[in-house]
Amino acid sequence: MKHRIVVLGAGYAGAFSAGFLARQLHTDDVEITVVNAEPDFVERLRLHQLAAGHELPHRPLTEIFAGTGIRLRVARVVELDVDRRRVTLDDGGRLGYDTLLYALGSTVADHGVPGVADHTYNVAGRPSALRLRARLRALGSDGDVLVVGGNLTAIEAATEIAEAHPDLRVTLATSGEVGGWLGPKARKHLLRAFDRLGITVHENTTIERVEPSAACAADDTVFGSDATVWAAGFAVHPIAAASGLAVRPNGQITADRELRSVSHPNVFVAGDSAFVIGGNGQPLPMSCASAGFTGQQATATIIGELTGRPVKRTSLSYVGNHVSLGRADAIFQFVDGDARAKPGALCGRPAVWVKSAIVGTSGWAISRPTFGRLDHHYRTRADAGSPGVVAA
């Protein structure tokens, strides 16, 4: 009987990890199944562009995994039973596993604010980005857009919308400072870009309630809004917490340095869903880079576990943030070993080139998860089969 590896999610972490496992492990020994809600690889890094009206390349997962031996199951995971080692899908199907790699990413965090679920738009997933795109189109040349949040996604969404829809009035409200973590050079550049794009900024403004056509702040300011874009952070889907895995308050699965769940040793985690301490002693931020590092480490650990080979340690370090400010402007903020902004930053065209190289390279790499090679040179240990309870 082959060892069943199930990878949940085919985003940056899951697609890469599945491809790497397929490339390294022998097909006689393992069966790799990837479950993803959408038939395509979704370039999440560019969803603010999609929402603003740009087209993104179509990357069907059937083409990405063709010839790799990976089985693709397009369905939504609705439940995970880690004791019975079973995944339940929205099409009624069930999948048993011996080893699970959880890489379902993250979703929008509503922070318990009333009205967010019913009256806001977001760019955290493709369906929601498409809803926002339709709303912006429907507004045409007259309307108020309120972006809530002051971090990377809020900045990218506000600037992209303002640039693509210059007739709409775009306002950003954030409980702290917009881009407050940036170094002085980058923050100055950011504020100039907001000014150029005509975005009104309200800092130290916490939105406490959202209504169909307005958002209300803690200081009683009411923002009239035809489209409120909630970009105030990400949280992990509640599936992980409900499964009984050890999780953090934001739903992230607590993992050790080798990306193994601290509560369930045959569950591994990568990407936004993972809570892991990085090389600087701080939790790795949810990011594309972290998805790469954690995917590399999780797959190295799984291969070590199944083959008995020493587990290779990959770097879990973080060097900077790249932030787009529309299509023709960007910031690349370098950070130090403690993830604090360094004074230096790339701004303007050079940062646009860096950003588009990063986004382009990650899309290219995901489209070739085995890099055209299927070495299959690692055989699994004789006892790596299917220990413990098998799902009914």
Ligand X SMILES: Cc1cc2nc3c(=O)[nH]c(=O)nc-3n(C[C@H](O)[C@H](O)[C@H](O)COP(=O)(O)OP(=O)(O)OC[C@H]3O[C@@H](n4cnc5c(N)ncnc54)[C@H](O)[C@@H]3O)c2cc1C
Task: Examine residue 291 and tell whether it contacts ligand X (CB under 6 A).
Answer: yes
**Range in contact with ligand X (rule: CB under 6 A) among 199-207, 222-230, 252-260, 280-288:** 280-288
Task: Examine residue 19 and tell whether it contacts ligand X (CB under 6 A).
Answer: no
Number of continuous H segments (helices) and E segments (strands) in the chain? 10, 23
Using only C-alpha atoms, the chain has a radius of gyration, in whole angstroms, of 21
When the beta carbons of 90 and 256 are compared against ligand X, the nearer one is 90
Asked if 104 contacts 270 with a C-beta cutoff of 8 angstroms, the reply is no
When the beta carbons of 26 and 131 are compared against ligand X, the nearer one is 131
Token look-up 């002051």 returns 150
Task: Examine residue 143 and tell whether it contacts ligand X (CB under 6 A).
Answer: no
Task: Examine residue 17 and tell whether it contacts ligand X (CB under 6 A).
Answer: no
* Count of residues that bind ligand X according to CB under 6 A: 35
Task: Examine residue 345 and tell whether it contacts ligand X (CB under 6 A).
Answer: no
Q: 273 in helix, strand or coil?
A: helix
Report the sign of the C-alpha dihedral through residues 148, 153, 155, 157, in that order: negative
Binder of ligand X out of 7, 20, 36, 314 (CB under 6 A) = 36
When the beta carbons of 90 and 375 are compared against ligand X, the nearer one is 90
Question: Within positions 305 to 324, which residues make up the interface with ligand X, using CB under 6 A?
Answer: 322
Nearest in space to 284 (alpha carbons), one of 236, 326, 316, 258:
316
Site string for ligand X, 84-113 (x = CB under 6 A): -------------------xxx--------
Q: How far is the CB of 243 from ligand X (least distance, A)?
A: 12
When the beta carbons of 217 and 345 are compared against ligand X, the nearer one is 345
Give long-range contacts, CB 8 A cutoff, 24+ apart: 326-334: 326/159, 326/160, 326/162, 326/163, 326/164, 326/193, 326/197, 327/49, 327/160, 327/163, 327/352, 328/352, 329/159, 329/193, 330/354, 330/355, 331/182, 331/186, 331/189, 331/190, 333/182, 333/183, 333/186
Binder of ligand X out of 7, 72, 124, 306 (CB under 6 A) = 124
Task: Examine residue 182 and tell whether it contacts ligand X (CB under 6 A).
Answer: no
Nearest in space to 36 (alpha carbons), one of 61, 16, 10:
10
Q: Burial, 209: exposed, middle or buried (Cβ in 10 Å; 0-12, 13-18, 19+)?
A: middle
Task: Examine residue 326 and tell whether it contacts ligand X (CB under 6 A).
Answer: no
Residue 301 CB partners (closer than 8 Å, separation 6+): 258, 259, 260, 268, 311
Structure tokens at 155: 């900045």
Task: Examine residue 149 and tell whether it contacts ligand X (CB under 6 A).
Answer: no
Q: 225 in helix, strand or coil?
A: coil
CA 266/CA 128 separation, integer angstroms: 33
When the beta carbons of 43 and 226 are compared against ligand X, the nearer one is 43
Phi, psi of 88 (to 5 degrees): -105, 135
Task: Examine residue 37 and tell whether it contacts ligand X (CB under 6 A).
Answer: yes
Question: Within positions 156 to 175, which residues make up the interface with ligand X, using CB under 6 A?
Answer: 156
When the beta carbons of 2 and 59 are compared against ligand X, the nearer one is 59
Nearest in space to 6 (alpha carbons), one of 64, 85, 109, 76:
85
Task: Examine residue 287 and tell whether it contacts ligand X (CB under 6 A).
Answer: yes
**Range in contact with ligand X (rule: CB under 6 A) among 35-43, 166-174, 252-260, 380-388:** 35-43
Asked if 41 contacts 365 with a C-beta cutoff of 8 angstroms, the reply is no
Task: Examine residue 64 and tell whether it contacts ligand X (CB under 6 A).
Answer: no
Task: Examine residue 10 and tell whether it contacts ligand X (CB under 6 A).
Answer: yes
Binder of ligand X out of 2, 26, 38, 139 (CB under 6 A) = 38
When the beta carbons of 29 and 149 are compared against ligand X, the nearer one is 149
Task: Examine residue 333 and tell whether it contacts ligand X (CB under 6 A).
Answer: no
Task: Examine residue 76 and tell whether it contacts ligand X (CB under 6 A).
Answer: yes
The contact set with ligand X (CB under 6 A) reads 9-14, 35-38, 42, 44-45, 47-48, 76-77, 103-105, 123-124, 152-153, 156, 237, 271-273, 286-289, 291, 322
